[in-house]
Structure 1
């Protein structure tokens, strides 16, 4: 049986199904380590703490985080994220 990924999950469950850190990192184009650092620092997407040792991400949370970081120009990006213009 083929493992499900964010791309081939049934669309009925996409937004609320909880995906692994590895799947979330792949969806965002990041490494798992980068996602862990973002989670530690509070700058990453919202996550679900399933147990003391397990966590996951909903597709809706990942999409919301990506949308919150979307800009139309480099000037918007440097102003919005505190960089030098």
Structure 2
């Protein structure tokens, strides 16, 4: 809401293989969702599973942490690391 995330979900997956992500995707992703990633090669599997995939290449360094949609991801991960 208001540009802020309402929920975060962390799910362990064995790897980025089709076999490992297929059962995860069926419970974790809405059928019409778009998966946004930084272009990590493993995310191409979501396209094979039939989901839309948007790649956002972030600039290096701090500038990359401030672009949408990665800004809130970095806040959440930073808070998690602090809590641990």
TM-score over 0.5 for the pair: no
The structure whose Rg is larger is 1
Interval of TM-score (by shorter of Structure 1 and Structure 2) = under 0.3
**Structure ranking higher on relative contact order (CA contacts 8 Å, 6+ apart):** 1
